Amino acid sequence: MERLIRAAVKDTSAETSQKLSQTLHQLQVQNELLHHKNSGLRDALTTKKQRKNAGKPLNLQREEEYHGSATF
Report CA dihedral (60, 66, 68, 69) to the nearest 10 degrees. Answer: -110
pLDDT of residue 37: 98
| Higher per-residue pLDDT: 46 or 13 | 46
Phi, psi of 34 (to 5 degrees): -65, -40
* pLDDT above 80 for 11: no
Q: Can you tell me the mean pLDDT for 2-30? A: 84
Q: CB of 21 within 8 A of CB of 5?
A: yes
pLDDT at 13 over 90: no
- 27-60 pLDDT per residue, tens: 999 999 999 999 999 999 999 888 776 666 666 6
d(CA 42, CA 54): 18
Sequence letter at residue 46: T
